[in-house]
Chain A
Amino acid sequence: MSTASATSDARPDQPARLTGRDHFTRPGRYWLLAAAVLWLAGVSKGMNVITLMSYLMLVVWGLNLCVAGRRFGNLYVRTLRTLPAAVFAGESFPIEIEVANRGNRTIEGVQIELNGASCFVDLQPGNATFQASATPKERGWYYLDPVQVRSGFPFGLVERRARGADIDGILVFPALGELDYERLLHALPPSAGQEGLRPRRVSGRDDFHGLRDYRPGDSLRSVHWRSSARRGNLLVKEFDDRSARDLVLVLDPFVPGSGKTAGELARGELDCEQAVSLAATLCYHWCQHGGSRLVLAIGGAGGPLIVAAEAEPGQATLFLEALALAPGSDQVDIDPLIEQLADQLPRAPVLLVSSRPQGLAEELSRRLGREVLHCHAGDGLAADCYRPPHLFEEDRA
């Protein structure tokens, strides 16, 4: 028997009233069967005590039917909006529900269930608040089951069950790994027009960053003479180059198609998720540090998706939402991706994150005319600057 949902006669900002339906529990069904058998035996054989016993069982069941959830009409339930700003896969977040008993008598023996957690209470008049937590395992839309309220008080032979209103879906972002931002900057390839792989330059236009040994080609104007004299060798001042922090991030969410074994398919999907997670980690950290421009290009069967924005902390959601919903595919077409990317390609290093070992790095490099750093999801980033989330470590194990 299905449960009934909350009625929608209340205003949207008010809790929804519960209207339950009766549900025959398994013990209750056996109870009724036993009563019926006893009744038949009692009446047919003239065993009056047996007949009376069958009526007793029947009446007890009927009493349960009348009493169970009798005051559900006084119950109102709603889910409180206490969600955090961002929910990441593998991380738990709290949920709160409020159950209001608007009657003037206690409703006994009520089981309240939410997302697999339950509580067995007597609901006194007033608003009761319950807390639970949820841990989504995967990125994408996450839907919580509505609040279930049921009561079989007093005997548990019949239950009245009611269901709260549906809860809006929650967009779960990909799980984030740990990233050493500074190391990554050193590992990135040079962008077009830049002198080398170094993200920091010894020019005086930008913020002072630190000192390093002199290299041939460095301007003598950048030598820090006092420190050089103290150390006995030439040291030059190093400055941050903001334009060097711009990044073009290309995600290749490839998953193997048909013709693979189940193990290979599972492995492919895991690689794809790791790739998405790595891309999300990069986007998140790029936005957290700010002051640069980030272009995220996601390949896919339905066409590429390109998100380009200033890398500011407030913009992280934009990239994470795109990554949360990026589908894996076995048909990632490179041509439209390159065409669209070429139109808005900034002067920045290009990083390809792919779930396949031999990806599109060479072709991408050739057609974009840039050096492309290829990064396979399973191998992580170069220079040990990235550590995948624990979620995948468990999956791989």
Chain B
Amino acid sequence: MTAEMSFRRSSYLTLAIASSALAQAESIFFPEMALFVVPVLMALALAYVFDGRWAMSNLWANLIGLGISIGFGVWIAHQLVHFQARHGIVAPWWVMIMPFFGPVLMVLMLVKLFQPKKLQDYWMLHFIGLMQVILGCVLASELYFGLLVLAYLVSGLWTLVLFYQARGVDQQATTMLVLRRDSPARPARPVRVLRSLGWAACAGMLAFLLFLVTPHLGDDSWDPFTLSNHRFLITGIGSGMDLNRVGSVRTSDRPAFVVSMRDTLGRPRVDLGLEEYWRASIMSTYDRGRWFSRTQTQLAHELQWGKIPLRPGPLADLGSAQYFATFTVDTQKVGVLPLADPVALPEDPYRPTAEVLTGVTGPGPLFRPLDGTLVQSAFLVPGEYVYRQVTVPAPVPGYGPNMERATLPLETYLQQPVRGIETFTFDLVRQLRDAGKLPEGAIAFERDGAVMIAPEHGLAVGRILADHLARSGQYSYTLNLRRQDVFLDPTEDFLCNVKAGHCGRYASALTLMLRSLGVPARVVIGYHGGEPTDEPGVFVIKQNQAHSWVEVLALEHGDAVRCRWVRLEPTPADDGNRNSNSLWATIRKWSVESWYNYLLDYDTSRRNELFGDLATPMQESWQHVQDSLAEDPTNPAGWLELSRWLALPALLLLGWFLWRRRRGTAKKSRRALSRPVLACYHRLLRVLGQRFGIAPQRGQTPLEFAAAARTHLLEAGLPGALVELPEQVVGLLYRVQYDRELPGADECAAMDQRVAELEAALQPEPSI
């Protein structure tokens, strides 16, 4: 196969991979891209088949291009209206239109493919392909995209090499230098894909190393969901919750915060932490797939009107059962300040249950009570905060503090704007009632298909619904979020169609279902669990332990005045790791974690961790050497340690020295072996010069000189064997000088002997 044919084949392959990669990246914005890319790939295959046989005229190509441009313009304008609402993206318009370029690029590529094209036009085609991949890099978040980019790298480099070869062949096609048949050169052979695989591996490793060592400007990573570089970790805590997002949820094993648990006497509480809940934000308002907490402006208003004391006193005394949790939180990583659950509410507003120890805060306390819990009342300055909380164990796990029902804005916790969820919930409740799973009298009334639950049964119904979501088997846990009907509300789509998701979807669904039944409920975002450290009573909570759950408002013993928030857990167990011991699952997990940790979420702190880990053992080892030798210079252990340090450079030096020596020896030996041939040649020159007065002229090569000498020898009437001798000597010389082929000593000696014979034959006969 010629270089040009190989190049064309690899070109189409590369373009197909680029289009697939872009379609994969765009799928989080346009799930229909999976369908769109199929005709694109088919058109690519058609273009490959018809390449060189048929092409559209430029006029038609331009007309089609114009039509497509107008069509896409209308489509973009139409989509852009709904795009922001559909995806919840708040970004400048020029950023928001980026996903729309994907289909445009694909169609543009096809138009260019079917146009008449010369070899140089492939630059433009591959530029479009590269643009597709770059756009994909901006929009992508999944590992599959990374795999496609790897394939693109291999195929792209292969194409680049073949393109270079095809251009070279094309250039020689017009006026060609003719290569002699017996010459040791051959028309350039098309490079095989395996070689480009090697180059891709080499380039990939070097580029990745450069990427790892490059300083980053901060801890902000690009978030393709929001098309901005403001950090938002789905497995961490942000200022809100967006259920419109699809794709794989990033997992991060980075520490989120550290908490130290001690009792009144300062003794560590080692019995806590593992099953502890840490609450961070309360989500009360739902709007088109997004949850919001009660606004900071409301807190600022209350602060202004004196409802929040500006100068709180010491921490409240909660009795002998109280214990203290001291948190160390970097708000650059977490965003909000978590508290241990349950949160004890202060009876005296001037005696809070949480206080800041270090950290920059605004006026007033760091936390203040709101709707039966403590919430952060000040705007945070990014940095590390250390604060302390006093609390007591809940009487029943999951039960919040007792409070007056009248103090709550119930209309907020009953807000439910999605009609589809109402219908779904009513149907479900009726099914549960028919199945006898609801307690007697749970349904307060039923009219026109609507169902209302009696307030005293709210908690029980909530538990039944949570149990239905978590254990009915109809719903499953996954971090790979997808949508089925993008025109539905995402929570409704989850409940009715997708039936798989992470804790955020379940918490959102249960909350809206309860609200549909007239039961106040809310979503709580925080963390669940923790890992003990070497220090007793100190726990580290990681980003991937972020969690969300539901709190339902339960009446206190049927009392309509007193109530408390009770935690419900609707999320099913993560059974996605059932086969986690298999090799494939291990590789997949490792790949996904590496993809996020060392590429998408790689930042300054990760870089410091990575290179700090590498540097620390070396620093410690070197320090150990220094200390050992400083203490006792005669200590052999110290010297042994030092020799380990010096071994590697010494080995490198030795290797370099041996390599140089070997190279020098080879050169010397080649020079030594070529010396007899040169001597033979110079002897021939001397003989010919003495007898015929000839010598190589300026610009005359040895071979040309040999041909001239042959004429003289012929005229001198020498036998044929001696006539051929100059050309044979020069042939030997060329073998040494050009071909680096070293003749044997016997061959040199034989040639020298023949030159001696020539010299003897050319000796003038003695006069008698």
Query: Which chain A residues have a beta carbon within 8 Å of chain B's beta carbons?
Result: 12-15, 27, 34, 38, 43-53, 55-56, 58-60, 62-63, 76, 78, 80-81, 97, 99-104, 108-109, 111-114, 116-132, 152-157, 168
Contact between chains at A101 and B184 (CB < 8 Å): yes
Task: State A126–B369 Cα separation when bound (angstroms).
Answer: 89
Known: A13-B701, A52-B208, A132-B177. A124 touches B164 (CB 8 A): no
CB distance from A14 to the nearest CB of B (A): 7
Contact between chains at B172 and A120 (CB < 8 Å): yes
Contact between chains at B189 and A122 (CB < 8 Å): yes
Which residue of chain B lies nearest to A132 when distances are taken between CB atoms in the complex? B177
Which of B153, B163, B701 has its CB near the most chain A CB atoms (within 10 A)?
B701
Partner of B165, one of A80, A103, A109: A109
Contact between chains at A63 and B186 (CB < 8 Å): no
Contact between chains at B702 and A13 (CB < 8 Å): yes
- Other A-B pairs, 10, CB within 8 Å; known A13-B705, A78-B701, A154-B161: A13-B702, A46-B603, A49-B222, A50-B137, A56-B153, A59-B206, A99-B185, A109-B164, A128-B184, A129-B179
Task: State A275–B177 Cα separation when bound (angstroms).
Answer: 35
Contact between chains at A155 and B599 (CB < 8 Å): no
Return chain A residues, CB-CB under 8 Å to B270.
none
| CB<8 Å pairs between A and B, sample of 8 | A13-B699, A50-B137, A50-B138, A109-B165, A123-B185, A127-B184, A129-B180, A130-B180
Contact between chains at A121 and B188 (CB < 8 Å): yes
Task: State A120–B140 Cα separation when bound (angstroms).
Answer: 41
B160 lies within 8 A of chain A by Cβ? yes
Which of B177, B696, B698, B700 has its CB near the most chain A CB atoms (within 10 A)?
B177
Task: State A116–B134 Cα separation when bound (angstroms).
Answer: 39
Return chain B residues, CB-CB under 8 Å to A109.
164-165, 168, 188
Stretch at the interface among B10-18, B196-204, B235-243, B295-303: B196-204
Contact between chains at A81 and B699 (CB < 8 Å): yes
Contact between chains at A116 and B175 (CB < 8 Å): yes
Which residue of chain A lies nearest to B204 when distances are taken between CB atoms in the complex? A56
Contact between chains at B177 and A119 (CB < 8 Å): yes
Return chain A residues, CB-CB under 8 Å to B138.
47, 49-50
B171 lies within 8 A of chain A by Cβ? yes
Task: State A42–B461 Cα separation when bound (angstroms).
Answer: 51
Task: State A127–B741 Cα separation when bound (angstroms).
Answer: 12
Known: A118-B176, A121-B179, A154-B191. A47 touches B157 (CB 8 A): no
Task: State A17–B600 Cα separation when bound (angstroms).
Answer: 50
Contact between chains at A119 and B134 (CB < 8 Å): no
Contact between chains at A129 and B203 (CB < 8 Å): no
Partner of A49, one of B184, B203, B210, B599: B599
Contact between chains at A130 and B137 (CB < 8 Å): no
CB distance from B685 to the nearest CB of A (A): 11
Tally inter-chain residue pairs, CB-CB below 8 A: 202
Return chain B residues, CB-CB under 8 Å to A153.
161, 164
Which B residues between 516 and 530 are near A, CB-CB below 8 angstroms? none
Return chain A residues, CB-CB under 8 Å to B737.
14, 102
Contact between chains at A114 and B160 (CB < 8 Å): no
Which of A53, A100, A101 has its CB near the most chain B CB atoms (within 10 A)?
A53
Partner of A58, one of B137, B146, B207: B207
Contact between chains at B178 and A125 (CB < 8 Å): no
B740 lies within 8 A of chain A by Cβ? yes
Contact between chains at B180 and A128 (CB < 8 Å): yes
Contact between chains at A117 and B211 (CB < 8 Å): no
Return chain B residues, CB-CB under 8 Å to A120.
165, 168-169, 171-172, 187-188
- When A and B form their complex, which 9 residue pairs have the shortest distance between CB atoms, in order from nearest? A120-B168, A156-B164, A126-B184, A119-B177, A128-B185, A55-B207, A128-B183, A49-B137, A47-B222
Interface residues on B, range: 35 or more
B167 lies within 8 A of chain A by Cβ? yes
Task: State A272–B677 Cα separation when bound (angstroms).
Answer: 56
Return chain B residues, CB-CB under 8 Å to A111.
168, 171-172
Task: State A109–B190 Cα separation when bound (angstroms).
Answer: 10
Known: A56-B153, A129-B180. A27 touches B123 (CB 8 A): yes
Return chain B residues, CB-CB under 8 Å to A59.
203, 206-207, 210
Stretch at the interface among B212-220, B371-379, B562-570, B757-765: B212-220
Partner of A48, one of B169, B180, B211: B211
Task: State A119–B704 Cα separation when bound (angstroms).
Answer: 25
B590 lies within 8 A of chain A by Cβ? no
CB distance from B135 to the nearest CB of A (A): 10
Return chain B residues, CB-CB under 8 Å to A27.
123
Contact between chains at A154 and B738 (CB < 8 Å): no
Task: State A46–B163 Cα separation when bound (angstroms).
Answer: 33
Which residue of chain A lies nearest to B210 when distances are taken between CB atoms in the complex? A55
Known: A59-B206, A130-B179, A132-B177. A52 touches B189 (CB 8 A): no
Return chain B residues, CB-CB under 8 Å to A100.
738
Contact between chains at A48 and B203 (CB < 8 Å): no
Return chain A residues, CB-CB under 8 Å to B426.
none
Contact between chains at A129 and B183 (CB < 8 Å): yes
Which residue of chain A lies nearest to B141 when distances are taken between CB atoms in the complex? A49
B221 lies within 8 A of chain A by Cβ? yes
Return chain A residues, CB-CB under 8 Å to B699.
12-13, 81, 168
Contact between chains at A114 and B177 (CB < 8 Å): yes
B475 lies within 8 A of chain A by Cβ? no
B133 lies within 8 A of chain A by Cβ? yes
Known: A116-B175, A154-B164, A155-B161. A121 touches B738 (CB 8 A): no
Task: State A299–B286 Cα separation when bound (angstroms).
Answer: 105
Task: State A125–B735 Cα separation when bound (angstroms).
Answer: 11
Task: State A104–B217 Cα separation when bound (angstroms).
Answer: 49
Which residue of chain B lies nearest to A27 when distances are taken between CB atoms in the complex? B123
CB distance from B101 to the nearest CB of A (A): 15
Contact between chains at A127 and B216 (CB < 8 Å): no
Interface string of B142-171 (1 = CB under 8 A from A): 000010010001000100110111011101
Partner of A155, one of B130, B164, B211, B702: B164
Which B residues between 584 and 606 are near A, CB-CB below 8 angstroms? 599-603
Task: State A102–B735 Cα separation when bound (angstroms).
Answer: 10
Interface string of B117-140 (1 = CB under 8 A from A): 000000100000010011001101
Return chain B residues, CB-CB under 8 Å to A156.
160, 163-164, 167
B632 lies within 8 A of chain A by Cβ? no
Task: State A46–B175 Cα separation when bound (angstroms).
Answer: 51
B229 lies within 8 A of chain A by Cβ? yes
Which of A78, A81, A121, A155 has its CB near the most chain B CB atoms (within 10 A)?
A121
Which of B163, B602, B603, B739 has its CB near the most chain A CB atoms (within 10 A)?
B739
Which B residues between 567 and 582 are near A, CB-CB below 8 angstroms? none
Contact between chains at B179 and A128 (CB < 8 Å): yes
Contact between chains at B184 and A124 (CB < 8 Å): yes
Contact between chains at B184 and A53 (CB < 8 Å): no
Return chain B residues, CB-CB under 8 Å to A15.
701, 738
B734 lies within 8 A of chain A by Cβ? yes
CB distance from B707 to the nearest CB of A (A): 10
Contact between chains at A46 and B221 (CB < 8 Å): yes
Task: State A235–B169 Cα separation when bound (angstroms).
Answer: 72
Which of A112, A130, A152 has its CB near the most chain B CB atoms (within 10 A)?
A130
Return chain A residues, CB-CB under 8 Å to B214.
43, 51, 55
Return chain A residues, CB-CB under 8 Å to B199.
60, 63, 154
Task: State A53–B208 Cα separation when bound (angstroms).
Answer: 9
Return chain A residues, CB-CB under 8 Å to B189.
122
Known: A13-B701, A50-B134, A81-B700. A125 touches B739 (CB 8 A): yes
Task: State A113–B525 Cα separation when bound (angstroms).
Answer: 71
Which residue of chain A lies nearest to B178 when distances are taken between CB atoms in the complex? A131
Contact between chains at B175 and A118 (CB < 8 Å): yes
Return chain B residues, CB-CB under 8 Å to A47.
137-138, 222, 229
Which residue of chain B lies nearest to A123 when distances are taken between CB atoms in the complex? B185
Task: State A34–B126 Cα separation when bound (angstroms).
Answer: 13
Return chain A residues, CB-CB under 8 Å to B172.
111, 117-120
Return chain A residues, CB-CB under 8 Å to B146.
49
Contact between chains at B734 and A127 (CB < 8 Å): yes
Task: State A56–B188 Cα separation when bound (angstroms).
Answer: 26
Return chain A residues, CB-CB under 8 Å to B164.
109, 152-156
